[in-house]
Structure 1
Amino acid sequence: MSNNLTQVTDATFQAEVLESDKPVLVDFWAAWCPPCRAMHPILDELSGERDDIKVVSVDVDANQGVAAQMQILSMPTFLLIDNGAEALRLIGSRPKRKLVAELDEALTARV
């Protein structure tokens, strides 16, 4: 697992994600999921490059409460949470270029 990403747990999700003062990209992943592992370096890069969003990571096996609360059914799932609400849901791995485009589109649509 990468070093730049904050690991969020059932206990810290509310404070780290829902109460964040900037949009948060949450990576819901599992250790047994190869596409999830493939996304970690991309998310790590993104976290280092962007200061307009926070990138965090949730291990769904260890944090089933949050996964259930957010209705995560497949991995990886990426949620963009803005002001405590889901602004974007992306399912499955994708190239960095596509992820950045999808994020930028969602962030541009913010009011």
Structure 2
Amino acid sequence: MRGREGEQRLDAARLGAELGERATLVHFSSAFCQPCRATRRTLAEVAGMVDGVAHVEVDAEDRLELVRELGVLKTPTVLVLDAAGRIVRRAAGAPRKADVIAALGAAVSGAPPGG
């Protein structure tokens, strides 16, 4: 998962779901996206491992304005938000569990965005 601009933020109102107390895994998916199913399982599993972490799935087809605003070009796309809702990591395609855990660790620890 690669770092992105740390000042772009999302909040519960824009996502349509509550953010996690420590971090949030945001998953843009679509109905016929096969890798989205595996991504959903991976993110739910990782979110379940860490207290205060939420997993929010966003249907890209239903939220085209948000998709365009965030530059989501394919599904699955995963954004990792810190406690303040700042996007600290971003990945397109199905992420590996180890990469999600590492990105989540950086978000929770407050490490600056990076590669």
Q: Structure 1-normalised TM-score?
A: 0.72
Equivalent residue, structure 2, for 1:58: 58
Q: 1:73 to 1:95 in 2, by over 3 A?
A: same
More off after superposition, 69-78 vs 46-55:
46-55
Aligned: 1:47 with 2:47: yes
Q: 1:43 to 1:64 in 2, by over 3 A?
A: same
Q: 1:62 to 1:90 in 2, by over 3 A?
A: same
User: d(CA) in 1 for partners of 2:39 and 2:62?
Assistant: 19
Aligned sequence identity (%): 33
Q: 1:16 to 1:66 in 2, by over 3 A?
A: farther
Is the 2:79–2:90 contact (alpha carbons within 8 Å) kept by the matching residues of 1? Answer: yes
Equivalent residue, structure 2, for 1:24: 24
The residue identity in structure 1 corresponding to 2:40 is H
Where 2:18 maps in the other structure, the secondary structure is: helix
User: d(CA) in 1 for partners of 2:61 and 2:18?
Assistant: 19
Q: How many residues align?
A: 99
Equivalent residue, structure 2, for 1:7: none
Where 1:107 maps in the other structure, the secondary structure is: helix
Is the 2:23–2:107 contact (alpha carbons within 8 Å) kept by the matching residues of 1? Answer: no
Q: 1:45 to 1:91 in 2, by over 3 A?
A: same
Unaligned runs of 5+ in 2: 1-12
Equivalent residue, structure 2, for 1:74: 74
User: d(CA) in 2 for partners of 1:77 and 1:50?
Assistant: 21
The residue identity in structure 2 corresponding to 1:87 is V
